[in-house]
Amino acid sequence: MDSALGRSGKALIIDIHSYPRLTLAYELSKDAYRPEICIGTDEYHTPPLLTQKVIEIFRSRGFDAALNTPFSGSIVPEKHYRKDPRVSSIMVEIRRDFYMDERTSERRTDFCETQGKLLRALKKLGMIMA
C-alpha cells in the first residue's frame, strides 16, 4: 500500500472473494438477495464515482450485480483505515455457482468465458481509477 501511494499518490484495493448460492449459517440476513456479483463498499474508502463505475462495468458486461448484498464492506489495511482518503477500496464477491458446480467443485463448461468477462471487467475498473 505504501509503495503504491508513494508511486502515484493513490491506491485502489480490489478485494475479491466468492460466496455460495445458499445462505451460510453465520449470515444474519437469511433472505438477502444473492446476485452473481456482490459489490461491497465502505463509506469512507469507496467514493461514489467508484461505486457507480463498478456497477456500470459489471452490468454492461451482462452480470447480475448488486451493492452490499448479501455482504458489504471492503478491506483496508488498519494503518490507512478511515485515515487516508488516497486509499480507495471496493469488494467484488462472485457467487460460486456462476463459475462452478458447488457440489463437485468442478468448473462449469463456460468457466473460461466467465473468467475472461470477469478479468476484462476488473481490468476496466483498474484503468478507470488509474
Residue 66: count other Cβ atoms within 10 Å of its Cβ.
19
Query: CA-CA distance, 94 to 39, in Å (whole number)?
Result: 9
| Mean pLDDT of the chain, nearest integer | 90
Q: What is the pLDDT of residue 130?
A: 57
- Give Cβ neighbours of residue 24 (< 8 Å, ≥ 6 apart): none
Reference 13, options 58, 98, 78, 95; nearest CA is 78
Burial of 21 (0-12, 13-18, 19+ CB in 10 A): exposed
Q: Model pTM greater than 0.75? A: yes
Choice among 43-47, 83-87, 111-115, 125-129 with the minimum mean pLDDT: 125-129
Q: Are 65 and 55 in contact (CB under 8 A)?
A: yes
Which residue in this structure is represented by grid cell 477500496?
89
Which domains, and CATH codes, for the chain?
2-129 (3.40.630.40)
Cis preceding-peptide flag for 77 (omega within 30 of 0):
no
Residue predicted with more confidence, 114 or 125: 114
Give the mean model confidence (pLDDT) for residues 122-128: 75
Q: What is the pLDDT of residue 129?
A: 61
